[in-house]
Structure 1
Amino acid sequence: MKTIITLTGRNNVTLKAIEQRDLEDMAILANDPAIAANLRDSFPSPYSLKDAEDFLALIQQGKVNHAWGIYVNDKIAGVITLTPQDDIYRHSTEIGYWLGAPYYGKGIMTEAVSLLTEYAFREMNVHRIYAGVFAYNEASKKVLLKNGYHLEAVKIKAIIKNGILHDEHLMVKML
């Protein structure tokens, strides 16, 4: 298991390793169809305590190496990840995240993305961070734009969610 460094920001936002004691709260937050609607189908919906336990097991087994819990006042509020790419894309990493509904509209995700973007450029030897955002997910696009990401491309009908084709916005920040 890779050690996850704790990152502390403003507004009582901290990114740190997900702890066993937080899995029940994480499962309650993640069991929101609105979260799953903006994530890949591999994100379970409904989301159970067992799903949270399975995710933590993947981290502990080293199968997910760059995952942080987003904590506000020491309570888990969401999850943020980096997925380093390989081969000719090894200078890039993908950022992904979700936040529980009680924490919306408070600048928490903007702060979390800022912390992790700075960390990735500083510590992971990457030159490019990207996110694929469902075209209808305006909140996620705003978070990335506030952090200096830009729209690099619109991938037309690139994703299918709940049987419907959608465009994907490729948001990028480079060193």
Structure 2
Amino acid sequence: MDINTIIEGAHSVSLRNLQPADATAMSELANNPAIARNLRNVFPYPYSREDAVFYIGKAREGAWGICQAIHYQDTFAGVISLLPQEDVYRHTAEIGYWLGEPFWHKGIMTEAIRLVCRHAFSQTGIIRIYAGVFSYNRYSAAALIKNGFVLEGIKRKAVLKYNELFDEHFYALLKS
């Protein structure tokens, strides 16, 4: 379910397949505790070049579903993915993403979410995309809401991050 061609959007944002050449930039941007704080613990911190090489290799094998590099003005800025679910949820995908701190607050992630959702709805059988957002990550929630995602529910004290419990907010977008 890879996007085989570059998808370009507004604000000089584009998505393309992750490439081995992205490993250095990816590791430099991802090695940031502010990014790791907003992601599941499977995302390592510190984040090494070897972590990036491993992730890119698995992405290129299709292990993460649709997994794309986010580019801003032709510069690697982060990663966005859609992980298709299975069984009775096979029409659904979970969206996940991160953006390097130098690219925050520029509308880049909002545009990347729009691009990957548009692709999924037009090119795959996916009709529902959802995201779990830690309660303190208001910028992630805002990017989803700007794309039409709706808060469907809150799992209270569901996330244990850095030995502290947080709520997880679930947002979803349906194919219109």
Fold equivalence (TM over 0.5): yes
Partner in structure 1 of residue 152 of structure 2: 152
How many angstroms apart in 2 are the aligned matches of 1:65 and 1:45?
A: 23
Pair 29,19 (structure 1): closer, same or farther in 2 beyond 3 Å: same
> AA paired with 1:17?
N
> AA paired with 1:161?
K
How many angstroms apart in 2 are the aligned matches of 1:112 and 1:22?
A: 17
Partner in structure 2 of residue 97 of structure 1: 97
User: Considering only aligned residues, what root-mean-square deviation do their CA atoms show, in Å?
Assistant: 1.3
SS in 2 for 1:47: coil
> How far does the alpha carbon of each residue in 1:39-89 deviate from its partner, in whole angstroms, 9 at most, with x for none?
000001000100000001112333223100000121100000000001011
Does the CA contact (< 8 Å) of 2:69 and 2:77 recur in 1? yes
Does the CA contact (< 8 Å) of 2:18 and 2:60 recur in 1? no
Does the CA contact (< 8 Å) of 1:135 and 1:166 recur in 2? yes
> AA paired with 1:38?
N
How many angstroms apart in 2 are the aligned matches of 1:17 and 1:126?
A: 19
Q: CA deviation at 1:125?
A: 1.1
Pair 145,2 (structure 1): closer, same or farther in 2 beyond 3 Å: closer
Q: CA deviation at 1:90?
A: 0.8
SS in 1 for 2:144: helix
Query: Which structure 1 residue ranges, 5 or more long, are not aligned?
Result: none
Query: Which structure 2 residue ranges, 5 or more long, are not aligned?
Result: none
Pair 146,2 (structure 1): closer, same or farther in 2 beyond 3 Å: closer
**Across the two proteins, how many residue pairs are aligned to each other?**
175
- Greater shift, 104-113 or 53-62, is seen at 53-62
> AA paired with 1:104?
W
Partner in structure 2 of residue 5 of structure 1: 5
How many angstroms apart in 2 are the aligned matches of 1:2 and 1:141?
A: 25
Residue identity over aligned pairs, in percent, reads: 45
Runs of at least 4 residues off by over 6 Å:
none
SS in 2 for 1:56: helix
Partner in structure 1 of residue 44 of structure 2: 44
SS in 2 for 1:145: helix
> How far does the alpha carbon of each residue in 1:113-165 deviate from its partner, in whole angstroms, 9 at most, with x for none?
00011111111111110000000000000000000001000111111111111
Does the CA contact (< 8 Å) of 1:4 and 1:68 recur in 2? no
> AA paired with 2:41?
D
Pair 65,126 (structure 1): closer, same or farther in 2 beyond 3 Å: closer
Partner in structure 1 of residue 107 of structure 2: 107
Does the CA contact (< 8 Å) of 1:135 and 1:169 recur in 2? yes
Does the CA contact (< 8 Å) of 1:4 and 1:66 recur in 2? no
